[in-house]
Homo-oligomer: A and B are copies of this chain.
Amino acid sequence: MKKKEAILKVATVLFANKGYPDTSMQELSRLTGAAEGTIFYHFGTKEGLLLAILKQTRETIVRQFEEFLEAREFGSGLSRVEETVSFYLYLAGFLEDQFLLLHRHHVYQFSETNPEFREHLEEIYNCLTDFFEWAIIAGQEDGSINPELHPRKTALILFTMVDGLVRFKNYNLYDAGALFNELMNACRTMLQAPQRNN
């Protein structure tokens, strides 16, 4: 099982950083110390290797978020949203290669023809959006979040913002870290329940 794990690990880094078509099995073989034949023995095809990586990514991300949710006690629903956003950004740094892979086009391309790809992707995105939505609903129940907002759609808008920031970071377009405070402020302002007049 040693070689199989090494291949998965190295291939994740290469597919995420160099891209799927630009990573050759020869290179993968050289960097893992496994023969080319070994890779095909374990994963069948190059596409099969990418699928195995996506599966592992899904399991890791979902588990990490579930552990976060279990371990944390939240104050208001609004602060739960804020902490979820923070955790998303932390995780995108901690699991940098996996999140980069999710911004790569090949997983979406394969998902158009291979239902297993689509299933993993949907699970990941549904899971992430759910965590935002639950936090919003909690906030609407405790009065810290505007009750007129549509929870699911607002969760998607939040997700859009956070995921866009991760993309900026990954592409080195801007110093995304410098935007953290602005992002949190924007989230807070757009969600906040309308203030009562004095």
Contacts and interface: CB of A to CB of B under 8 A. Distances in A.
Interface string A55-79: 0000000000000000000000000
Interface string A2-43: 000000000000000001011000000000000000000000
A149 B181 CA distance: 11
Contacts of A159: 164
A161 interface: yes
Secondary structure type dominating chain A contacts: helix
A170 to B, nearest CB: 9
Interface of A: 19, 21-22, 103-106, 108-109, 121, 125, 149-150, 153-154, 156-157, 159-161, 163-165, 167-168, 171-174, 178-179, 182-183, 185-186, 189-190, 195, 197-198
Closest 8 CB pairs of A and B: A164-B164, A160-B164, A21-B21, A153-B182, A190-B190, A189-B190, A186-B190, A197-B197
Given A19-B21, A153-B179, A197-B197, 6 more contacts: A150-B182, A156-B174, A156-B182, A157-B186, A160-B160, A197-B198
